[in-house]
Structure 1
């Protein structure tokens, strides 16, 4: 954030959000009024200009597009984890259950700054972080009391994240393809900023509607038959974890594969498929995933810049933001797995490495939490129990 005061991006954003200036390459006119509240509109216009500098910079290379897709997928998977954590029974009534509020705060103060504070607060205040050090029966009982989530929430979290975050991300990123006017495009970027609020609202509304229309859900196994609460919970929560893993893996695997192509093969593919030559040549690991040094960030002259000059500055910011925040989520999940799952550390490490390669740090965190949640089946009666769960 400090770099924005010296690399030209901060000055440019101030110019664009002031009267008269436009953002080169972006749709015109630039919109500065969204709510009618002067202070809020000024702040929103800064955020809108920041993201427009990325999504509207037509001169940026394919490495920018690749990292943007990868980063947004990692972000969505990480956000899914936080939404799930806030809904667990052990966190109800605690500050860590306020994921919508936390989301609004980190959207304004960065993922890097707020997520470590949120997760540290979780470790100090949540009973979920204190499940280790018990015998299997006691640990299973404690896990069932603290890890459970309303079954309707588990069924609806993927849809809520899709509608509240994924869809707005896609819509704001494709203004030309969707034939958006300038005002519509900037409205969508502004709308996206409140994705934590939209996610929580969608989840609450759908939960209440489904409960009102269909009543509570009972634990069921993979074949749809009544089962114990622990087994039913694992069947239900698997949908949330699978959602996060799919988002992470389907974006990382192709992008990482292209970025790691050896030079001879890259040249051969570029020559064989000339239509995609620029994509193949530009998406390298160094260009896509390695940020500039903090002491030598990319810069621009706000009074003289052209296509391709804006996006690299925004991407460099997001690289540090996402790497720090998502690595924190992974370390948090790693700690919970080591201290509560009872698995050998070698299994924890192998799971972490495998899923980091397949889907990045967010996928590894999800895989560790999914395995940790198996605690809910420890010491549970194997006879199916009729249980009414909201």
Structure 2
């Protein structure tokens, strides 16, 4: 008898018919059975194409439009004005131009302070509400980016140098920098690719200590300076102090890195002293410690989004008469609608000039927030899908019979369609409640929960 024939065995199906099969047989994939059409691109491919395009859109909406509509011209004229001395926008005190004694740095700080002058002025109704919304979205986005830089799989990679990235987007714009950062992340980070639960410890985890102190670092480096620069001048602080507080906020990425490092070093020192006294207590498993600590960071980011988005959305959607009757103090904002606050303005023709600096700054920030937030949401969707669609394998010799496998494969399209609809509903609901960064936070949080289930199941 031929050797190949000796390896064949008889298998009887449900009808009693004999089927010749070879042993062993390769495993059958439950996904990817039917070939996709050429136009059915993978989400990863779409994201890799979309992120550079979003960066270009951000460049157009912020730097190009800002240069065409007169916003940058007004700022430059104020910074260069010497005789008479320039006055701080919409105020009666002089524009401060000396902060550090370093000419190039002082000039850049003066430009940024002048740009943000109308942002912290509550008399600019639409811009003021957009700024409150942006405070939460931007703060939560920054929290997610810092978390990403701390993950074990990103250590030593370009995406881990988040302080540098933060300084770049503070000076070049969030809308241009963040899509490119996420593009680099997708190309270089192991976290951007599907991985098994057993591989999570080497790529996904963050030090439990880093997670515990991160909300405090963000609060001290970003939220507190944001509140301080919003203090009114001259009724609450002097004009010079007001400008110095705005300038102090600008390098908040550096403050975040410094505070995070300082707090980590301090608590590591305290922890080493305590552990040396109580060395008998076994350490908690790293994965369990991560999952216990990371939920507090996600809750922090999500709370920041909800508290700064939902009230502004209600003001934009509730009829003006209702606001004026129930909350008279909000009457100056009652006439504003959703588009006034949230939707980026597209100037037509492109030669359109803004009436004042506040309008130009508002247009800039609308494009900045919309483009950067869209990029982060797209990135979060991809990471979530990586966790939920990782291929499962079934060994037909030890698992399901062939006819059941065929039935599962035939229903795969319906299952995938249902999952997509569920994902879209989830994104829509959370975007309504907490804005696009709130939705992104929920997706990344659920990605971690899915990985936890994989760890438990050993897959």
TM bracket (short chain): 0.7 to 0.9
Change over 3 Å in CA distance of 1:300–1:123 after alignment to 2: closer
Q: Aligned partners of 2:289 and 2:145: how far apart in 1?
A: 21
**Could you tell me which residue of structure 2 aligns to residue 222 of structure 1?**
none
- Residues 89 and 114 in structure 2, CA contact (< 8 A), matched pair in contact too: no
1:283 to 336, 341, 359: 336
* Cα deviations by residue, 1:296-351 (Å, 9 ceiling, x for unpaired): 577346xxxxxxx3322211100001100011000000011112234943443232
Give the TM-score taking structure 2 as reference length.
0.73
Give the conservation status (yes or no) of the 8 Å contact 1:348–1:368: no
Range that drifts further, 11-20 or 66-75? 11-20
SS at match of 1:54: coil
Aligned match for 1:256, one of 313, 335, 341: 313
Does 1:122 find its partner at 2:185?
yes
Q: What is the rounded CA distance, in whole Å, between the counterparts of 2:92 and 2:148 in structure 1?
A: 39
Corresponding residue for residue 149 of structure 2 = 86
Report whether the alignment pairs 1:30 with 2:95.
yes
Call closer, same or farther: CA 1:30–1:369 in 2, change over 3 Å. Answer: same
Q: Are 2:305 and 2:435, in contact at CA under 8 Å, matched by a contact in 1? A: yes
Cα distance change on mapping 1:81 and 1:178 into 2, 3 Å: farther
Gaps (5+ residues) in structure 1? 133-138, 219-224, 302-308, 383-390
> Could you tell me how far 1:15 is from its partner in structure 2?
1.7
Residue 109 of structure 2 corresponds to 44
C-alpha change, 1:375 and 1:44, in structure 2 (3 Å) is same
Give the Å deviation of 1:375. 4.3
The CA distance in 2 between the partners of 1:253 and 1:153, in whole Å, is: 29
State the partner residue of 1:306.
none
* Conserved 8 A contact 1:144-1:376: no
Partner secondary structure for residue 114 of structure 1: helix
Measured at CA, do residues 105 and 380 of structure 1 come closer, stay the same or move farther in structure 2, by a change above 3 Å? same
- The alpha-carbon deviation at position 164 of structure 1 amounts to 0.6
Moved more, 3-12 or 266-275: 266-275
CA contact (8 A) 1:148 1:233 kept: yes
The equivalent of 1:187 in structure 2 is 244
In 1, the alpha carbon distance for the partners of 2:234 and 2:438 equals 30
Count how many residue pairs are aligned between Structure 1 and Structure 2.
357
Distance 1:249 1:380 in 2: 31
Q: Is the 8 A contact 1:131 1:142 kept in 2?
A: no
Q: CA deviation at 1:12?
A: 1.4
Q: How far apart, CA to CA, are the structure 1 residues paired with 2:434 and 2:98?
A: 39
Contact map agreement 2:387 2:451 (CA 8 A) in 1: no
Q: Which residue in 1 is equivalent to 2:74? A: 12
The answer on whether the counterparts of 2:74 and 2:357 sit within 8 Å (CA) in structure 1 is no
> Shift of residue 81 of structure 1?
0.3
| Preserved CA contact (<8 Å) 2:387 2:447 | yes
Distance 1:231 1:271, change over 3 A: same
Partner of 1:131: 194
1:144 counterpart (196, 201, 214): 201
Deviates more, 1:67-76 or 1:13-22: 13-22
Residues 233 and 242 in structure 2, CA contact (< 8 A), matched pair in contact too: no
Instruction: Please list the CA deviations of residues 245-294 of structure 1 after superposition, one character each: whole Å capped at 9, or x if unmatched.
Output: 00001111111122112x4xx32442354443333x23321221123214
Pairing 1:323–2:370 present? yes
**In 2: Cα distance, 1:27 partner to 1:93 partner:** 49
Indicate the larger mover: 289-298 or 242-251: 289-298
Kept in 1, the 8 Å contact 2:70–2:360? The answer is: no
Find the counterpart in structure 1 of residue 304 from structure 2. 247
1:261-276 map, 5 Å: 261=318, 263=319, 266-276=320-330
Shift of 1:43: 1.5
Describe the shift of the 1:29–1:227 C-alpha distance in structure 2 as closer, same or farther (beyond 3 A): same
Asked if the contact 2:305–2:434 (Cα under 8 Å) also holds between the matched residues in 1, the reply is: yes
Deviates more, 1:154-163 or 1:3-12: 3-12
Q: 1:122 to 1:270 in 2, by over 3 A?
A: same
1:36-63 deviation per Cα after TM superposition (whole angstroms, max 9, x unaligned) = 111121111111110013324x6422x2
Check whether the contact 2:217–2:260 (CA below 8 A) recurs between aligned residues. yes
The two structures have a TM-score, normalised by structure 1, of 0.85
Q: Is 1:339 paired with 2:414?
A: no
- Structure 1 position 226, deviation (Å): 7.4
CA 1:167/1:379 → structure 2, altered by over 3 Å: closer, same or farther?
Answer: same
Greater mean alpha carbon deviation, residues 146-155 or residues 225-234? 225-234
Structure 2 portions without partners, runs of 5+: 1-62, 276-281, 391-418
Which residue matches 1:292? Answer: 345
**Cα deviation 1:101-157 (Å, max 9, x = unaligned):** 10001111110111011001110000101124xxxxxx0111221110011100011
Give the stretch that moved more between structures: 142-151 or 236-245. 142-151
Q: Determine if the alignment matches structure 1 residue 21 to structure 2 residue 86.
A: yes
Shift in CA distance, 89/275, structure 1 to aligned 2, threshold 3 Å: closer
Q: 2: CA distance between counterparts of 1:117 and 1:268?
A: 43
